[in-house]
């Protein structure tokens, strides 16, 4: 029955047809398996690189890259001279060794700055020396320590997020210096790409973030909101999409957006929005008048890479309220202290810019661009 | 006759001739009217199947009543029987529900990976059903090949069905394998599969921004549009024996400047409907495998390094190519006299000297472009449309400070929005020009333009001696348009209910209106509209493919075939009679076409009209009537 296969047009047809089929099928399988190799990683999985740092979720502080030899020598001398530190305002109850460890991992590592950013090397305890910029930086640092402590106390400490549901996420991480600074001395709270036309990702920090209130976050037609409110709402939602690098279904069962069915992350996001509004209300003037955006800390990650892995790695007054009787107002607010932040000027021409961090800073800026802010 | 010779109707005809019998085909040639049943008896002979060609024998090569069985039919029946059995076993026994609408047949969890789950585990029956359905679809595809061979048609119908089959393969096989888990497969169940679509869409930020999704959906609408045009035109010329082909061609040339022709429309139908499926495959396959964020995906657009001086050069180059191409068309000396009959002076005459475009001729079989009829309604329509476009584009330019590069770069996100309700604007001219009043004026002009064009369709149909079916089909589409842009905003009391004029604005409106009213997937009129939209594409694919497959027997001459059916039309009818047990005729397939296309607009319009006026929350409505699948 196969005699016609040997010769003739039909035989040729089957040979060609078989070859084409084999090539197409082979290519298809190759593509599918190649894509499968690429795509097997679960996008929702939080990859925590334990080797990166025992302190941060997934951030590698590299103080040795920015702290000069002079600084190390000066630290050694100061530690030998004063086993207990002098003139400490916020970090009470720590020895000099503990403070140096904290400074190296959190300030030098988290901000990418040398000791001279805030200190006189001949006397670390001094509040006044011949560098006016350094003096201001030290005051700013103290205010930010108090701020971090208050934010942790009010919103993150004692597993407040975890208690919203009993599911795995989030991890119990809390705020540290690198959470916002992310290796930069001057983090930009709201990346320009986020609200550059046409992206226009909003975050209405003056709104009340509440599920019961109709409006920005509750757009069901039963609440009598208009279609332009829904449009506004979508921009808020895209802000969170982009900042966390997740789709809508991270927090929603999109068959019915208003519901909470089955998706605990919606509770976390509400808590975090309330925290953002709190930061905006209380600390905006302490971050140069900037508004906090979700991407300031998250930078494309569900759990910010710069967050402290656990509250135990932080000094007591950073994980909760500042020492008795000390408030951020008492540390004084001079608007000029934060001047440089309003300009977002990272060029070396800026006199406030830390020259020591130039190389590190450039790399970090490049990383931020890769996050995909929608520019 | 060799034992492996393909036995076809032709061979049997030769045998009949050898026996001295009078062949059916002979009677056809002699001008005798032959009924479909006589023709069926003539073609209904064993032989010619794939199994015959490959192995010389086909044990199932017979008919049961009208149905052709065949080896692949048996394979298909096996898949259908067990697939349906497992489906109902899962719903009735495993889930214990008789509410078929709310049944949910989920794939195994993603954590199970690509392994086959054991009986009793979740997803076990999903795997069996998907396997059986794949067998059934494959069998059906190959059965269509067999029927095509028996009727000596070319293979366009199985090719079109194969395109749809690749959709199933992409959803249930290729994408889950690429993602590394069967759990990424398509969930089954009537409302549950809507939930799946919704959750997949929003998992990758916003599926409306998926360009392949946009192209696929546009092609679905294009398919419905083509179906309405073609179906209407054939019905318009049915029962009018005095008409010639020139009447239909002249009608469309006068209306829009080009008539694609009888064979061309069926080729276009096949290509558009197949392309819509292939683009849809691409849009879902890429989601989650290579692209996880369709909003961020558009970064590529701003990153294209043409947004400096090159943009101008590129635009100029494209313009030059188009201009050069247009010049190469040859002008026709002989124009169809029927078209010239309508010609006259002034507005009551035609413009555009007819010319021939060889490429169109090769593609569709009809290369003549023009003449186009002007008329009062046509002039009003074009002038109003041009002013409307001018207002919209002027607003775009205003948004980008009249920067032409920014205009091109942001073209897809620029929009002219209606006056915002949030700023207190309702139906009056309270907003500034660029704050929304421009939208009111532009939209009014758009209404005027479209309604004038509607009148033009009526006018030209009547003047060409045709029926008015296209007028009514167009009206069905305009109903949806008017509900969205005029009727519903007026009922709701503010223009902000209507979409802005812009690519992104329309996508955003669609998304927002769905989010605002619970979930549009649970709007039963939206369900119907989608049913008719996809049904229109299916009909277009079936009809286009069938006619192209039988085109060498003249099946595309539908206006004539309607009155005296030839062998091409008989084959086209027998194909579906044997394949699925019933068939349309040259006329009734166009009845199906017109109604499917029209109901897409009508049901969609009702669905939009009810949202916010009668029903505020479609998901809550669905919960009340009990069609929501359990979580």
Model ipTM value = 0.77
Q: How many CB atoms are located within 10 Å of the residue B330 CB?
A: 10
Q: Are B105 and B187 in contact (CB under 8 A)?
A: yes
What's the pTM? Answer: 0.83
> Secondary structure of chain B: what % helix, strand, coil (to 5)?
65, 5, 30
Given the DSSP bridges, would you call strands B67-68 and B63-64 parallel, antiparallel or unpaired? antiparallel
Given the DSSP bridges, would you call strands B368-369 and B350-351 parallel, antiparallel or unpaired? unpaired
Verify whether the Cβ–Cβ distance A38 to B204 is below 8 Å: no
Q: Are A125 and A114 in contact (CB under 8 A)?
A: no
Q: Where are the beta strands (DSSP E) in B515-556?
A: none
Q: At what angle do helices B124-150 and B567-580 cross, to 10 degrees?
A: 150
List, in order of start, the domains of chain B with CATH numbers.
Answer: 9-64 (no CATH), 80-190 (1.20.85.10)
The CA distance from B49 to B68, in Å, is 11
Chain A stretch 222-251, residues whose beta carbon is closer than 8 A to a beta carbon of chain B: 222, 225-234, 238, 241-242, 245, 247-249
Pick the closest to residue B129 from B141, B144, B117, B145 (CA basis). Answer: B117
Q: Counting beta carbons within 10 angstroms of the beta carbon of residue A231, is it exposed (0 to 12), middle (13 to 18) or buried (19 or more)? A: buried
- For residue B164, the model assigns a pLDDT of 95
Pick the closest to residue B281 from B165, B141, B203, B134 (CA basis). Answer: B165
Q: Where are the domains of chain A?
A: 63-370
Backbone region of residue B123 per phi and psi (left: phi > 0; alpha: psi in -120 to 50; beta: other values): left
Query: Partners of B350 in the beta sheet?
Result: B373
Pick the closest to residue B208 from B440, B499, B595, B549 (CA basis). Answer: B499
Reading the block at residue A111, the tokens are 């901000």
Tokens 């000027």 found at:
A345
- B26-80, pLDDT tens digit by residue? 676 777 777 888 888 888 888 889 999 988 888 899 999 899 999 999 999 999 9
Verify whether the Cβ–Cβ distance B422 to A261 is below 8 Å: no
Main-chain phi, psi angles of B350, to 5 degrees: -105, 155
Residue in chain A closest to B619 (alpha carbons) equals A256
Contacts of B302 in chain A (CB under 8 A): 375
Residue in chain A closest to B293 (alpha carbons) equals A247
Mutate to test the interface with A, among B1, B48, B293 (most CBs of A within 10 A): B293
Chain A stretch 8-37, residues whose beta carbon is closer than 8 A to a beta carbon of chain B: 10, 28, 32, 35-36
Pick the closest to residue B619 from B513, B522, B515, B510 (CA basis). Answer: B522
- B588-625, pLDDT tens digit by residue? 999 999 999 999 999 999 999 999 999 999 999 999 99
- For residue A342, the model assigns a pLDDT of 38
Given the DSSP bridges, would you call strands B330-331 and B67-68 parallel, antiparallel or unpaired? unpaired
DSSP structure class, residue A56: B
- For residue A9, the model assigns a pLDDT of 67
Quote the percentage of chain B above a pLDDT of 70: 91
Mean pLDDT of chain B: 89
Verify whether the Cβ–Cβ distance A225 to B497 is below 8 Å: no
Sorting pLDDT into bands at 50, 70 and 90, what band is B351? confident
The CA distance from A306 to A111, in Å, is 11
Q: Are B331 and B353 in contact (CB under 8 A)?
A: yes
Contacts of B521 in chain A (CB under 8 A): 255
DSSP structure class, residue B343: -
Residue B135 pLDDT more than 90?
yes
The CA distance from A248 to A259, in Å, is 13
Query: Residue A241 is nearest to which of B290, B295, B508, comparing CB atoms?
Result: B295
Verify whether the Cβ–Cβ distance B202 to A197 is below 8 Å: no
DSSP structure class, residue B485: I
- For residue A371, the model assigns a pLDDT of 37
- For residue B449, the model assigns a pLDDT of 98
Give the N- to C-terminal CA distance of chain A in Å, as an integer.
66
Q: Are B157 and B583 in contact (CB under 8 A)?
A: no
Q: Any chain B CB within 8 A of the CB of A261?
A: yes
User: Average pLDDT in the B88-109 region?
Assistant: 93
The Cα of B373 is separated from the nearest Cα of chain A by a number of Å equal to 41
Contacts of A248 in chain B (CB under 8 A): 202-203, 205-206
Kindly give the residue spans of alpha helices, DSSP state H, lying in B296-437.
299-303, 310-328, 337-342, 358-364, 375-399, 404-409
Reading the block at residue B231, the tokens are 């179906």
Verify whether the Cβ–Cβ distance A32 to B174 is below 8 Å: yes
- A71-89, pLDDT tens digit by residue? 999 999 999 999 888 888 8
What is the 3-state secondary structure of A318-345?
Answer: HHCCCCCCCCCCCCCCCHHHHHHHHHCC
Pick the closest to residue A113 from A177, A173, A67 (CA basis). Answer: A67
CA angle A328, A334, A336 (to 5 degrees): 135
Residue B325 pLDDT more than 90?
no
User: Average pLDDT in the A24-39 region?
Assistant: 71
Mutate to test the interface with A, among B1, B104, B112, B203 (most CBs of A within 10 A): B203
The Cα of B244 is separated from the nearest Cα of chain A by a number of Å equal to 42
Residue B165 pLDDT more than 90?
yes
Q: Cα dihedral angle (B504, B506, B512, B515), rounded to 10 degrees?
A: -110
Sorting pLDDT into bands at 50, 70 and 90, what band is B554? confident
Total residues found in chain B within this entry = 631
- B5-37, pLDDT tens digit by residue? 444 455 556 666 676 666 666 676 777 777 888
Verify whether the Cβ–Cβ distance B494 to A225 is below 8 Å: no
Residue A326 pLDDT more than 90?
no
Q: Are B541 and B270 in contact (CB under 8 A)?
A: yes
Query: Residue A228 is nearest to which of B292, B496, B517, comparing CB atoms?
Result: B496
- B293-309, pLDDT tens digit by residue? 888 888 888 777 777 66
Query: Partners of B330 in the beta sheet?
Result: B356
Sorting pLDDT into bands at 50, 70 and 90, what band is A25? confident
Verify whether the Cβ–Cβ distance A1 to B4 is below 8 Å: yes
Q: Are B345 and B407 in contact (CB under 8 A)?
A: no
The Cα of B317 is separated from the nearest Cα of chain A by a number of Å equal to 27
Query: Residue A35 is nearest to which of B290, B295, B414, comparing CB atoms?
Result: B290
Quote the percentage of chain A above a pLDDT of 90: 12
Contacts of A241 in chain B (CB under 8 A): 205, 293, 295
Verify whether the Cβ–Cβ distance A248 to B205 is below 8 Å: yes
Mutate to test the interface with B, among A255, A257, A263, A301 (most CBs of B within 10 A): A255
The Cα of A241 is separated from the nearest Cα of chain B by a number of Å equal to 7
Q: Counting beta carbons within 10 angstroms of the beta carbon of residue B306, is it exposed (0 to 12), middle (13 to 18) or buried (19 or more)? A: middle
Verify whether the Cβ–Cβ distance B180 to A231 is below 8 Å: no
Query: Residue B302 is nearest to which of A3, A257, A375, comparing CB atoms?
Result: A375
DSSP string for A200-233: -----TTS---SSS-BTTB--GGG---HHHHHHH
What is the 3-state secondary structure of B545-564?
Answer: HHHHHCHHHCCCCHHHHCCC
The Cα of A54 is separated from the nearest Cα of chain B by a number of Å equal to 29
The CA distance from B571 to B130, in Å, is 33
Q: How many CB atoms are located within 10 Å of the residue A83 CB?
A: 9
The CA distance from A45 to A242, in Å, is 17
Contacts of A253 in chain B (CB under 8 A): 195, 199, 631
Residue in chain B closest to A39 (alpha carbons) equals B289
- B429-472, pLDDT tens digit by residue? 999 999 999 999 999 999 999 999 999 999 999 888 899 999 99
The CA distance from B517 to B528, in Å, is 17
Pick the closest to residue A132 from A331, A334, A329 (CA basis). Answer: A334
User: Average pLDDT in the A246-270 region?
Assistant: 83
The CA distance from A152 to A310, in Å, is 11
Q: How many CB atoms are located within 10 Å of the residue A316 CB?
A: 14
Tokens 């600390």 found at:
A283
- B233-251, pLDDT tens digit by residue? 999 988 887 777 678 888 8
DSSP structure class, residue B373: E
The CA distance from A159 to A311, in Å, is 9
Residue in chain B closest to A30 (alpha carbons) equals B178
Distances in whole angstroms, Cα of residue B163 to Cα of each of A31, B138, B221, B394? 19, 12, 18, 43
Verify whether the Cβ–Cβ distance A254 to B198 is below 8 Å: yes
Q: Answer positive or negative: Cα dihedral of B490, B492, B493, B497.
A: negative
């Amino acid at each position: 029955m196969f005699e016609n296969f040997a010769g003739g047009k039909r035989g040729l047809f089957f040979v060609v047809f078989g070859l084409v089929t084999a090539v197409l099928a082979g290519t298809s399988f190759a593509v599918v398996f190649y894509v499968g190799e690429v795509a097997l990683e679960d996008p929702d999985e939080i990859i925590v690189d334990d080797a990166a740092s025992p302190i941060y979720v997934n951030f590698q502080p590299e103080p040795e890259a920015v702290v000069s030899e002079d600084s190390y020598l000066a630290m050694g001398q100061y530690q030998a001279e004063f086993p207990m530190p002098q003139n400490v305002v916020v970090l009470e109850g720590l020895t000099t060794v503990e403070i140096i460890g904290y400074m190296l991992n959190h300030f030098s590592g988290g901000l990418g700055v040398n000791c001279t950013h805030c200190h006189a090397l001949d006397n670390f305890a001094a509040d006044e020396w011949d560098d006016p910029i350094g003096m201001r930086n030290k005051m700013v640092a103290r205010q930010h320590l108090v701020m971090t402590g208050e934010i942790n106390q009010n919103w993150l400490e004692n597993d407040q997020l975890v208690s919203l549901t009993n599911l795995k996420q989030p991890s119990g991480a809390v705020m540290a210096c690198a959470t916002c600074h992310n290796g930069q001395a001057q983090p930009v709270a709201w990346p320009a790409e986020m609200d550059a036309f046409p992206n226009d990702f909003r975050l209405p920090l003056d709104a009340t973030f509440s599920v019961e209130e109709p409006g920005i976050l509750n757009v069901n037609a039963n609440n009598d909101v208009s279609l332009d409110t829904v449009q506004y709402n979508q921009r808020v939602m895209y802000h969170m999409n982009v900042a966390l690098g997740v789709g809508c279904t991270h927090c929603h069962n999109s068959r019915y957006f208003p519901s909470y069915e089955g998706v605990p992350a919606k509770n976390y996001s509400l808590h975090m929005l309330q925290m953002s509004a709190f930061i905006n209300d209380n600390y905006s003037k302490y971050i140069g008048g900037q508004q906090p955006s979700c991407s300031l800390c998250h930078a494309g990650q569900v759990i910010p890479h710069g967050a402290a892995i656990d509250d135990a790695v932080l000094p007591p007054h950073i994980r909760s309220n500042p020492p008795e009787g000390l408030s951020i107002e008492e540390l004084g607010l001079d608007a000029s202290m934060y001047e440089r932040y309003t300009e977002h000027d990272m060029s070396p021409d800026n006199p406030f810019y830390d020259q020591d961090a130039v190389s590190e800073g450039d790399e970090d800026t490049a990383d931020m661009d890769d996050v995909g802010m929608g520019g | 006759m060799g034992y492996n010779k393909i036995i076809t109707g032709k061979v049997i005809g030769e045998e009949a001739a050898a026996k001295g019998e009078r062949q059916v085909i002979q009677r056809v040639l002699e001008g005798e009217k032959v009924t479909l049943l006589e023709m069926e008896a003539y073609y209904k002979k064993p032989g010619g199947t794939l199994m015959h060609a490959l192995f010389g024998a086909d044990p199932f090569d017979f008919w049961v009543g009208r149905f052709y069985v065949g080896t692949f039919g048996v394979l298909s029946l096996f898949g259908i029987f067990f697939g349906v059995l497992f489906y109902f076993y899962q719903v009735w026994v495993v889930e214990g529900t008789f509410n078929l609408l709310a049944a949910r047949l989920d794939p195994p969890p993603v954590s199970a990976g690509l392994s086959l789950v054991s009986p009793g585990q979740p997803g076990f029956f999903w795997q069996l059903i998907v396997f059986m359905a794949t067998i059934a679809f494959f069998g059906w595809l190959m059965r269509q090949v067999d029927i095509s061979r028996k009727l000596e048609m070319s293979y366009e119908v199985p090719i079109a069905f194969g395109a749809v089959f690749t959709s199933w393969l992409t959803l249930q096989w290729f994408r889950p394998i690429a993602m590394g888990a069967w759990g990424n497969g398509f969930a089954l169940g009537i409302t549950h599969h809507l939930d799946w679509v919704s959750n997949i869409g929003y998992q990758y930020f916003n599926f409306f921004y998926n360009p392949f999704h946009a192209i696929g959906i546009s092609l679905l609408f294009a398919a419905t549009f083509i179906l309405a045009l073609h179906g209407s035109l054939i019905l318009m010329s049915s029962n009018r024996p005095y008409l010639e082909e020139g009447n239909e061609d002249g009608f469309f040339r006068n209306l829009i400047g080009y008539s694609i022709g009888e064979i061309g429309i069926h080729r276009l139908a096949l290509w558009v409907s197949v392309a819509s499926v292939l683009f849809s495959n691409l849009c879902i396959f890429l989601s989650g495998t290579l692209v996880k964020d369709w909003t961020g995906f558009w970064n590529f657009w701003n990153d294209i390094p043409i947004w400096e001086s090159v943009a101008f050069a590129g635009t100029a180059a494209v313009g030059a190519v188009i201009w050069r191409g247009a010049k190469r068309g040859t002008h026709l000396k002989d124009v169809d006299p029927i078209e010239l009959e309508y010609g006259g002076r002034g507005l009551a005459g035609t413009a555009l000297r007819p010319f021939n475009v060889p490429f169109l001729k090769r593609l569709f079989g009809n290369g003549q472009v023009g003449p186009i009829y002007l008329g009062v309604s046509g002039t009003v329509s074009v002038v109003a449309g041009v002013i409307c476009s001018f207002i919209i584009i002027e607003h775009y330019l205003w948004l980008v400070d009249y920067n032409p590069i920014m205009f091109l770069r942001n073209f897809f996100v620029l929009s002219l929005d209606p006056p915002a309700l949030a700023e207190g604007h309702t139906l009056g001219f309270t907003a500034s020009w660029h704050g929304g009043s421009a939208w009111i004026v532009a939209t009014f002009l758009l209404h005027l333009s479209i309604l004038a064009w509607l009148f033009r369709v009526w006018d030209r149909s009547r003047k060409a001696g045709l029926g008015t079916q296209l007028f009514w089909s167009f009206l069905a589409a305009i109903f949806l348009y008017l509900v969205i842009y005029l009727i519903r905003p007026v009922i709701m009391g503010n223009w902000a209910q209507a979409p802005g004029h812009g690519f992104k604005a329309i996508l955003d409106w669609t998304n927002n209106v769905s989010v605002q009213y619970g979930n549009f997937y649970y709007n039963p009129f939206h369900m119907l509209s989608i049913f008719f939209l996809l049904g229109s594409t299916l009909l277009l694919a079936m009809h286009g493919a069938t006619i192209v497959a039988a085109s060498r027997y003249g099946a595309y001459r539908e206006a004539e075939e309607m009155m005296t059916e030839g062998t091409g039309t008989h084959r086209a009818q027998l194909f579906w009679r044997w394949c699925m047990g019933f068939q349309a005729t040259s006329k009734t397939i166009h009845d199906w076409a017109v109604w499917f296309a029209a109901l897409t607009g009508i049901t969609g319009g009702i669905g939009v009209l009810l949202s916010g006026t009668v029903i505020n929350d479609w998901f809550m409505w669905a919960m009340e009537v009990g069609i929501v699948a359990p979580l």
